[in-house]
Structure 1
Amino acid sequence: MRINPKDLRRNDLRRNDLRRILPGILISLALLVFVFWSADLEALGDVLLRADYRYLLPAVLCFVGLLMARAMAWRTLLEEKATFRQAFFALTEGYFINNIFPFRLGDVARAFLLSRTTPLRFWQIVPTIVIERALDLLIVVCLFLATLPFVVGIEGAENKAILAGLIVGMALLTLVVIAHQKARVLAIYRRLHTRLPFLQRLDSQVEAFLQGITIFTQPLRFLKMLFWQQLAWALTILHYFLLLMVFVPGAKILWATFLLSMAGLGIAVPSAPGGLGVIETIIVFVFGLFAINKTQALAYALLLRAANLFTTAVPGLYGLMADGESIWNVYRQLRTQTTQPEESGR
């Protein structure tokens, strides 16, 4: 009996996938057990029944709005080489895939799916996602540093918030300098590359990053992208706040902003797809700082996850069907894409 090499490779890939995802799944399960164990499950139903769902529709509309703003920001990074419709559906497809598959494949999916519906090549799109994520990280850090002093009651919190803004401003200025000195930065990296072989693993990421920050040499385009991205973040904060008002009528927007920053930082923790367990634990912890009981926190976490999953699943699934794709077919192709980067062109 002859063994097909492709079957062997596929089996190896499955085993490797399982080894990589298993720790995250175990962490998620442990955190979910903790969250549900710490809440009063008998009171949970009562909390959900007594909630003020008038805020739910505005919260969902804010989420749709932030998706549209993010699509506009991404389209600006792509230099308008994709239509709004193409960018929006690729974005929502990627977010939906991130919610159901491991390894944050949704980010790769965005580039992969958009490359199939536009003249853009896969590796032309990747740098735009890299720079988008880098800017998102800067904003998350800024939100965290700006809100933390108010949360813990540090004297002179306003000055600390201004300092956080200055730190992010300096980071953006550094990116502008790097964008204008790409050749020099790349030369320095290559010299380090010869002395530190482990840097070889970062080659594709460094090249994508340097290509992505070209936008910093185009002030008008950068400001346009920044406007849409800031609008998306403002709508995200409002989305978190409105959902919080469903359960906590006296909630403050500071609470939602701090929670959002903590959730953004918590993504780095290994977990099941969509940060399952991690986000719920962060919500319970953060709300504990504001004297919100664990049962209300759990109710909020469940509603937040359900609302976000629904709002990304509807346009995401529609986009996949409109493109003639299926979830599992996309997953198989993405795993091939991520394990064979040399074949990642169109």
Structure 2
Amino acid sequence: MTSNSTKGRNVLRWLPGVLISVAAIYFLSKYITVQDLLNAVKSLTIVDIAVIVLLNVLSFIARSMGWKNLLEGISFKQAFLVINEGYLFNNLIPRSGEIVRMLLVGGLSKISAFQAASSILVERSLDVIVAAALFLSTLPLVVEMNWIKPIAWVLFCLFLTMIVVLMLLARHADKVKQRLADSKIDSVFLKDKVFPKIGSVLDGLATLNDPLKFARSVFWILMSWVCWISLLYFGITRISSGTVPLWQAIFTQGVLALGIAVPSAPASFGVYEGTMVAALAVFGYAESASLSIALVLHFTQIVVTSIFGIYGLMVQGQSISALLDRIRSRRGQTSG
């Protein structure tokens, strides 16, 4: 009975995202023919694919450096492999990458899963701030998408506030932990289970007390965004017959980042492509050409992260099935 109810909850959790992806794929198919898509894909050369792969790898290197500076105690190699393992599992189960990173870091070092979680929270908050800033800075040039402006402003302000709050918590971490230790609460569960985890989360924010290290982390995270913008700009130039302003890629990357935050099927399939097609349509690009480059960029990212992710699992002696079981177990505990 419990197994059936757990399966039911899993289906309900996945269903909205799957429906959104199906709807995106349906609308794309209404406007784009298979032949147009094939013609657009065939226009890409081996050199084009090589550049796309290289920019993907560089973005993951920069992302790994950023996370390494946020989380003390892991090497660059560990950060690089764990990040790619996280992307690999996002391709299998939506929003599971962060859980996988928490689980793997705990097995590779003395860092607790909750310390890793706080560093991931800071990283993701910075991502949302950057995405919203990219969108808002280029929005005056694109009046057609003003409807999303309030959403971008809310996200920008919300996550900027979150970063400030996390920095304040990091600064006063010792006081917070001392107050928890001196608390007169009688609950054994809170004292033995919850408070130590809160302490681990606060420990994971220690980097925020080091301005230089935090600045290095922000720099590398920004470099990963530079790689993504360069990747998108290169892709747009492949489907354009004229000069492409850089701000078009900046705007499209901001919209794309906000769009794939929407719940979707594994790997954001359909939503990623639909969001990019919609953003590029603002500039008059043909839907078939936009979809072709979106598919190439998305597929390349999936392949690259899968290769490094599977390699990482092999090196660390992990298996996909075992980690999937641990993800389900953790989600089941959270639901309970």
The alignment's TM-score, normalised by the length of structure 1, stands at: 0.80
| Partner residue, 1:98 | 90
- Summarize deviations over 1:58-88 as a string: whole Å, max 9, x none: 2211110110111111111112x11111111
| Residue in structure 1 matching 2:252, options 255, 259, 265 | 259
| Partner residue, 2:28 | 35
User: Quick check: 1:134 aligned with 2:147?
Assistant: no
- Give the match's secondary structure for 2:133: helix
| Residue in structure 1 matching 2:223, options 228, 231, 239 | 231
Does the C-alpha gap of structure 1 residues 335 and 47 become closer, same or farther in structure 2, counting only changes over 3 Å?
same
Does the C-alpha gap of structure 1 residues 55 and 209 become closer, same or farther in structure 2, counting only changes over 3 Å?
farther
- Summarize deviations over 1:121-179 as a string: whole Å, max 9, x none: 2122111111111111111111111111123399xxxxxxxxxx999988866654554
Counterpart residue identity of residue 271, structure 1: S
CA–CA distance in structure 1, aligned partners of residues 196 and 124 of structure 2: 16
Counterpart residue identity of residue 282, structure 2: L
What's the CA shift for 1:324?
A: 2.1
| Partner residue, 1:215 | 207
CA–CA distance in structure 2, aligned partners of residues 204 and 12 of structure 1: 31
**How many residues end up aligned between the 2 structures?**
310
CA–CA distance in structure 1, aligned partners of residues 84 and 159 of structure 2: 28
User: Quick check: 1:248 aligned with 2:240?
Assistant: yes
Return 5+ residue gaps in structure 2 as ranges: 146-155, 180-194
What's the CA shift for 1:113?
A: 1.3
| Partner residue, 2:59 | 66
- The answer on whether the counterparts of 2:276 and 2:294 sit within 8 Å (CA) in structure 1 is yes
- The answer on whether the counterparts of 1:74 and 1:132 sit within 8 Å (CA) in structure 2 is yes
Counterpart residue identity of residue 238, structure 1: S
- Summarize deviations over 1:209-247 as a string: whole Å, max 9, x none: 755544322111111111211111111111111122222
Return 5+ residue gaps in structure 1 as ranges: 1-7, 155-164, 188-202
| Matches for 1:1-346 after TM superposition, within 5 Å | 8-79=1-72, 81-102=73-94, 104-152=95-143, 176-177=167-168, 179-181=170-172, 212-249=204-241, 250-340=243-333
| Partner residue, 1:190 | none
Does the C-alpha gap of structure 1 residues 253 and 52 become closer, same or farther in structure 2, counting only changes over 3 Å?
farther
Counterpart residue identity of residue 226, structure 2: A
CA–CA distance in structure 2, aligned partners of residues 60 and 205 of structure 1: 39
Counterpart residue identity of residue 68, structure 1: I
- The answer on whether the counterparts of 1:56 and 1:246 sit within 8 Å (CA) in structure 2 is no
CA–CA distance in structure 2, aligned partners of residues 83 and 39 of structure 1: 46
CA–CA distance in structure 2, aligned partners of residues 166 and 270 of structure 1: 21
After superposition, the CA RMSD in angstroms is 3.2
Does the C-alpha gap of structure 1 residues 337 and 153 become closer, same or farther in structure 2, counting only changes over 3 Å?
closer
Q: Percent identity?
A: 30
CA–CA distance in structure 2, aligned partners of residues 204 and 20 of structure 1: 29
What's the CA shift for 1:252?
A: 2.8
| Partner residue, 1:200 | none
CA–CA distance in structure 2, aligned partners of residues 264 and 204 of structure 1: 34
